[in-house]
Structure 1
Amino acid sequence: MIVLENIRKIYGSGTEQVEALKSITLNVKKGEIYGVVGFSGAGKSSLIRCVNLLEKPASGKVLINGVDIQALKPSELRQQRKKIGMIFQQFNLLSSKTVFGNVAMPLMLDRRPGEEIKKKVHELLTFVGLEDKAGHYPEQLSGGQKQRVGIARALATNPSILLCDEATSALDPETTSSVLALLKKIRADYGITILMITHEMNVIRDICDRVAVLDDGRIVEEESVLNLFSNPKTDIAKNFVRTVLNDEIPVSIQSLINEQNQFHRIYRIVFKGEATSQPLLSTIAKKFRVDVNVLHGTITELQGVPFGNLVVDFTGTAEEVERAIFYIHQQQVWIKEVLPNAV
């Protein structure tokens, strides 16, 4: 659906050049919600603006449904952009236009008949839950309502792709959840492919199928959301996951553990699916001569799959702890030893 091949983006010239994107390659499948996460300055906005050529890459290819859009004539590119809706961080609404006027704008620019515009705008405002706000102006709306207007406007030309550039970063958590639910509904009802740029890992967790981690203009890790949360490989991915699964052990607890004279080892255990409902630790405590101390635990849902994350201290003889760990491996549960100060 969306294919980027070795995309480079350079700003400035001569000795003042800054390479914002460094040979980016990714493939977003039809009907997928694909997330790109990174800190400020990582190149996220440059990447998403290259998809519809609001920013022209220095090199590489942008393929939309197999079409190299950089090879299109200006008139052909304008037609292609109608199939790509975009939602912005700051909403980008026209303050002088009503909600109806903002949503109608793309259709008016496309010279659609008046009755068709009226029908389409009413349909979209009903879909986003703002049918009673058609005559209001942006200044009369909350942040969440403004973003819903932006979403309705982005859907006006019946796009097959929706680009979201930090679409929830200006919203409070409750409003963010409602907007994400709306985006899921858009994918379900219209089959639209969504590319989402964000620095919020909770957004990735709640809505995305796959995620790429962007750092200094490069994709350093790409995985399904479930796999990334289960076992992030790069330091930056681990930092992002930690913002959602904050399982660092307090220093005071680390000190108490280190003061113990007994043999102990600390592990991270990840449960997925049905394994989250199994009494694994209770079984371990009964089956082996080990004490099990849960230092941290969370359970959430990723892509509709229950996901549990525990940090556990096993205390006992070295032999018994090894036997317990071997048993856990046999249950096909992911487990990895960690240090108290590097969880």
Structure 2
Amino acid sequence: MIQFKDVKKEFGSGDTIIRALNGVNLTVEKGEIFGVIGFSGAGKSTLIRCVNLLERPSDGEVFVEGKNLLSLSKKDIRETKRKIGMVFQHFNLLNSKTVFSNIAMPLLLANTPKNDIQARVRELLSFVGLEDKASHYPDQLSGGQKQRVGIARALATKPSILLCDEATSALDPQTTDSILQLLKKINSEYDITILMITHEMSVIKEICHKVGVIEDGKIIESGTVFEVFTNPQTDTAANFVRSVLPDSIPESIQALVENREGDSRVFKIQFIGQSSGQPLLSQVAKKFDVHVNVLLGNITELQGIPFGNLVVELQGRESEISRALMFIHQEKVTVREVLPHAG
């Protein structure tokens, strides 16, 4: 559906060249919600703008539905771009036009018959929940309502691809959630492929099927949301994951553990799937002469699969801790020691 092949993008000239994209290779399959996450300046916005040629790559190839955009005629580019809708961070609505007119604008530019425009705009107003706002102006709307207008406008020409450029970063958390639910609905009911960029890992966790991590103009890691969240391969991805699934012990607690008298070891345990619902630590406390101290814990759901993180301290004789550890290893969970052996 969307494919980047060794895409580069440079700005400037002479000694002041900035390389925003530095050999991007990425594939977004039809029907996916694919998120690209990265820090400011990583190249996210440039990447997404290359899909509809708001930015033209300096080198490489960008394919949309099997067509290399950089080899198309101007006429073919126009036709292809009609299949690509875009939702912007700051809405980009025309304040002098009503909600109805803002949504109708792409249809007017495409010379759509008036009756068809009326029907399509009414349909979209209903879909995004703004039936009663048709005659309102953007200044009369909340941020979330403005973004719903922006989404309806992006859907006007019945695109097969929707690009979202930080579509929720200007919204409060509750409104963000409602917009994400709307994007899910668009993906499932209209079978539209969504490519979105964001700096919020919570957005990736909530809505995306796959994620790519961009840094210094390159995709440094990609995979399913479950793969990247449960086993990040780069420090950057791990840092993003920690923003929504913290796994670091507070310094004050760590100091107490390190100064504890007697044998004590601290482990991080990951629970996946059915193991998340098992009373593992309760069984450890009953079977072995150890005290189990939970220092940190969270459980969430990733793509419908339960996933839990626990950081636990096992206190007791070293021989009992070792026996307990062997038992834990047999229970199909991932275990690793996170603090040096104390005692």
Superposition TM-score tier, normalisation by shorter sequence: over 0.9
Correspondence for 1:90: 90
Determine the structure 2 residue equivalent to 1:129: 129
One-letter amino acid matched to 2:266? I
Structure 2 match to 1:327: 327
1:320 and 1:5 map into 2 onto residues whose CA distance is: 55
User: Hey, what's the Cα distance between the residues in 1 that align with 2:308 and 2:206?
Assistant: 15
Specify the alignment match of 1:3 in structure 2: 3
Aligned residue number for residue 201 of structure 1: 201
One-letter code of the match for 1:276? S
> Could you tell me which amino acid in structure 2 is paired with residue 178 of structure 1?
S
Which residue does 1:62 correspond to in 2? 62
Task: Tell me the secondary structure at the aligned position of residue 47 of structure 2.
Answer: helix
The DSSP-based 3-state class of the residue aligned with 1:19 is strand
Alpha-carbon separation, structure 1, partners of 2:58 and 2:337:
44
Which SS does the other structure have where 1:51 is aligned?
A: coil
Shift of 1:274: 1.7
| Map of 2:100 onto structure 1 | 100
- Secondary structure in 1 matching 2:50: helix
Please report how far the alpha carbon of residue 261 of structure 1 lies from its aligned counterpart in structure 2 after TM superposition.
2.6
8 A contact 2:220–2:234 mirrored in 1? yes
User: What is the CA-CA distance between 1:248 and the residue it aligns to?
Assistant: 2.2
Matched residue, 1:189: 189
* Partner AA of 2:211 in structure 1: V
User: Residue 238 of structure 1 aligns with which residue?
Assistant: 238
How much is the aligned-residue C-alpha RMSD, in angstroms?
A: 1.2
**1:199-255 residue CA offsets vs partner (Å, 9 max, x unmatched):** 001000000111111111111211211122212221111111111112321211111
* 1:282-293 equivalence runs, <5 A: 282-293=282-293
Q: Please state whether the residue corresponding to 1:122 is helix, strand or coil.
A: helix
| 2:160 pairs with 1:144 | no
Q: Give the letter for the 1:7 counterpart.
A: V
TM-score for both structures, normalised by structure 1: 0.96
1 CA distance for matches of 2:315 and 2:34? 42
Give 1:328 shift.
2.2
The gaps in structure 2 that reach 5 residues or longer are none
The count of residues paired between Structure 1 and Structure 2 equals: 340
Identity between Structure 1 and Structure 2 (%): 60
Taking the aligned partners of 2:233 and 2:339, their CA distance within structure 1 comes to 16
Moved more, 91-100 or 292-301: 292-301
Q: Quote the residue 1:17 is aligned against.
A: 17
Q: Which residue number in structure 2 is paired with residue 112 of structure 1?
A: 112
Q: Is the 8 A contact 2:275 2:332 kept in 1?
A: no
Determine the structure 1 residue equivalent to 2:336.
336
Other-structure match for 1:306: 306
SS at match of 1:266: strand
Deviation by residue 1:271-323 (Cα, 9 ceiling, x = unmatched): 22222111011111112222211111112221122221111112223333233
Give the AA of the match of 1:122.
R
**Corresponding residue for 1:154?**
154
Q: Distance in 1 between matches of 2:228 and 2:339?
A: 20
Indicate if the aligned counterparts of 2:33 and 2:210 stay in contact, CA closer than 8 A: yes
CA distance in 1 between partners of 2:230 and 2:293 (Å): 21
Structure 1, 239-248 or 192-201: larger mean CA deviation: 239-248
Structure 2-normalised TM-score? 0.96
Contact 2:8 2:57 in 1 (8 A): yes
Aligned to 2:26: 26
**Structure 2 residue matching 1:41: 3-state secondary structure:** coil
Contact conserved, 2:35 with 2:210, CA < 8 A, in 1?
yes
Instruction: Give the SS at the match of 2:61.
Output: strand
In structure 1, C-alpha distance between the alignment counterparts of 2:246 and 2:175, rounded to whole Å? 22
SS of aligned partner of 1:23:
strand
Q: How far apart, CA to CA, are the structure 1 residues paired with 2:326 and 2:151? A: 51
Letter in 1 for 2:177: S
| CA-CA distance at 1:138 after TM superposition | 0.3
Q: For residues 45-84 of structure 1, what are the structure 2 equivalents within 5 Å?
A: 45-84=45-84
Task: Compute the displacement of 1:32 (Å).
Answer: 0.5
1:308 aligned counterpart, secondary structure: strand
State the Cα distance separating 1:137 from its structure 2 match.
Answer: 0.3
Q: Which amino acid aligns with 1:319?
A: S
Farther-moved stretch of structure 1 (21-30 vs 256-265): 256-265
Q: Secondary structure of 2:111's partner?
A: coil
Partner in structure 2 of residue 270 of structure 1: 270
Query: Cα gap change, 1:339/1:47 in structure 2, threshold over 3 Å: closer, same or farther?
Result: farther
Q: Which amino acid aligns with 1:182?
A: L
Give me the whole-angstrom Cα distance separating, in 2, the residues matched to 1:152 and 1:110.
Answer: 16
